Amino acid sequence: MKMTKLIPAMVMSVSLIFGVAAQAIEETPVEMKDLPAAAQSTIKEKAGNDQILRIQKENRKGKECYDAIVNKNGKETAIRVDAKGKFIGTHQEKVEQKTKSENAKY
């Protein structure tokens, strides 16, 4: 490949990567009482006896959904539902990494 075609291709690749990263999903903490009744019902049903640690409101692809983080067997698992109470799925919550300032050694 000629260098004149390689450089623009690299620039496009990098811009696409950073464009995807810029579309990060914003999570907003919410209280159970502030959720639609259908979402509350589904979360409570799916959580069962697991302790609900926190709930986060998210906007994914223009649609509102909620992640209820529960303590399941010592691990944080998210139960995702939409605003109408439809169960979307579960996933393991990633442990948040400490910031560099917390890890810095003086």
Phi first, then psi: give them for residue 59, nearest 5 degrees: -120, 105
pLDDT by residue for the chain (106 residues), tens only, comes to: 555 666 666 666 666 565 544 455 678 899 999 999 999 999 999 999 999 999 999 988 888 999 999 998 889 999 999 999 999 999 888 765 333 444 444 4
Where in the sequence is the domain holding 64, given as residue range(s)? Answer: 26-93
Total domain count, the chain: 1
pTM above 0.75, yes or no: no
Torsion of CA 72, 90, 37, 74, to 10 degrees: 10
Asked if residue 7 belongs to a domain, the reply is: no
Q: How far is C-alpha 94 from the chain's CA centre?
A: 9
Compute CA 30 distance to the chain's CA centroid, rounded to the nearest angstrom. 14
Measured CA to CA, the distance from residue 22 to residue 10 in angstroms comes to: 18
Structure tokens at 44: 């409570």
Residue 17 lies in a domain: no
